[in-house]
């Protein structure tokens, strides 16, 4: 299909970089996402979305993505080298 999923994943994940750092390599107390296993991220996002996991903004941000988009984002961050 015409649309490059890699490109779509990267543009979706660009929003996360605003708080979680470029490629999710967060500094300071913000949770790094780089290298996080996709299943772990998808489980956390599902808990944010359902409200099982209270949050400041993540419960609302997670609602703006489809399941398909969340899978793309989770796969994108899982493939990023974790910051040593």
Is residue 77 within 8 Å of residue 17, measured between CB atoms?
no
> Which residues fall within 8 angstroms of residue 34, CB to CB, at 6 or more apart?
21, 23, 24, 25, 77, 80, 81, 82, 83
Candidate segments 24-32, 37-45, 55-63, 76-84, binder of its own copies by CB under 8 A: 55-63
* Total of residues contacting its own copies (CB under 8 A): 12
To the nearest whole angstrom, how small is the minimum distance from the Cβ of residue 84 to its own copies? 27
Binding mask 8-27 for its own copies (x = CB under 8 A): ----x--x--x---------
- Residue identified by tokens 């967060």 is 26
CB atoms within 10 A of CB 61: 16
Closer of 7 and 57 to its own copies (Cβ): 57
Residues that bind its own copies (CB under 8 A): 12, 15, 18, 56-57, 59-65
């Amino acid at each position: 299909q015409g649309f490059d999923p890699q490109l779509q994943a990267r543009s979706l994940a660009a929003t996360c970089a605003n708080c979680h750092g470029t490629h999710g390599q967060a500094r300071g107390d913000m949770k790094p996402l780089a290298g996080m296993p996709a299943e772990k991220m998808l489980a956390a996002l599902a808990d944010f979305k359902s409200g099982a996991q209270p949050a400041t903004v993540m419960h609302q941000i997670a609602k703006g993505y489809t399941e398909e988009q969340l899978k793309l984002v989770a796969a994108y961050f899982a493939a990023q080298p974790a910051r040593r």
